[in-house]
Amino acid sequence: MLFRVYSLSRAGRSTKERVARLVYTDEGRGEAVVFLHAFPLDGRMWAAQARELSPSRRVIVPDFAGFGGSTNVAPRTSLDEHADDVAALLDALEIERATIAGLSMGGYVALAFARRHAKRIAGLVLADTKATPDTPEGRAARDQNIALVRNEGVAPLVERLLSKLLSPSSPAEVVAFVRGTGISQTPEAVVAALAAMRDRPDSTPLLASLDVPAAVIVGEDDAITPPADARAMTAALPRAELVVLPRAGHLANLEAPQAFNAALGRVFAPAR
């Protein structure tokens, strides 16, 4: 069973303050996998993957600073800071290397982690994400969304995003989960994350150096980071396998959990 715990940091470490209030789940034993959540959600989105993998692996699912249960930590305005939070969490858990799995914004953070902490990556899962930065139009849309949240709160943004996050055939309970989880986030965290995503660098040049087993997974109907982005990343990564999930949109792990889990299982050798 999943449970939320407060992280334990070792006295005297410079990372102590950073992790002290980050909330995460930590379940199972064995090789570590860290799942990084999408925007504007939190670690709850990975429940089906944690259930599937935790009998054979150690599955760690943080809520990014400002999101989910981590609202006591100041929201981060850069993805690098979220990546450093993940590194600090691994320090606190005394885990040297882990598979880093991120979906969408979680994928952007995974790439930031790879840029800043490459030696700590045992494997990579990049799901419904992309290595390229925002286009000028995309940056302008972020600014509009920031203004919307500042003026009207998080709920109108979530309503605006729903049709892009999910495919039209998404089950009602998935829509309700995404809506409910999205509107539970604070405006401060949402605004900070929009700015962080707007300002992220191009990670394309990094990909060739990431010589670890990698899975690139994408819903075939992903309207935000479509399969073409996934193909480009797969081609640039030295050891990546691409899995396109039929009848799934951007939040592919929620819309097609079994196929998503099967993709995870195919790409990574059984845990020892």
Nearer to ligand MLT, 26 or 222 (CB): 222
Q: Do the Cβ atoms of 204 and 131 come closer than 8 Å?
A: yes
Choice between 25 and 225, CB closer to ligand MLT = 225
46 interacts with ligand MLT by CB under 6 A: no
DSSP secondary structure letters along 93-138: TT---EEEEEETHHHHHHHHHHHH-GGGEEEEEEES--SS---HHH
4 DSSP β-pair partners:
25
Three-state secondary-structure class, residue 240: strand
166 vs 263 by CB, closer to ligand MLT:
166
Please report, as residue ranges, which positions from 179 to 218 form the binding site for ligand MLT (by CB under 6 A): 197
Q: Identify the CA nearest to 92 among candidates 5, 195, 1, 16.
A: 16
**Minimum distance from CB of 271 to ligand MLT (Å)?**
27
* Contact between 130 and 218 (Cβ < 8 Å): no
Give the three-state DSSP class for 139: helix
Shortest Å, Cβ 166 to ligand MLT: 11
Count of all residues that appear for the chain in the document:
272
| CB closer to ligand MLT, 39 vs 260 | 39
Comparing CB distances to ligand MLT, the nearer of 104 and 181 is: 104
Q: Are 125 and 32 in contact (CB under 8 A)?
A: no
**Using the rule CB under 6 A, is 105 a contact of ligand MLT?**
yes
Q: Is 98 in the site for ligand MLT (CB under 6 A)?
A: no
Residue 104 near ligand MLT by CB under 6 A: yes
Number of residues that bind ligand MLT (CB under 6 A): 7
Q: To the nearest whole angstrom, how small is the minimum distance from the Cβ of residue 39 to ligand MLT?
A: 3
From residue 88, alpha-carbon distances to 18, 40, 100, 124 in Å are 7, 22, 14, 18
Least distance from ligand MLT to the Cβ atom of residue 219, Å: 11
- Tell whether residue 67 is a contact of ligand MLT (CB under 6 A): no
CB of 107 to ligand MLT, least distance (A): 8
Contact 128, 165 (CB under 8 A): no
Q: If binding is defined by CB under 6 A, does position 224 make contact with ligand MLT?
A: yes
Q: Which residues bind ligand MLT (CB under 6 A)?
A: 38-39, 104-105, 197, 224, 250
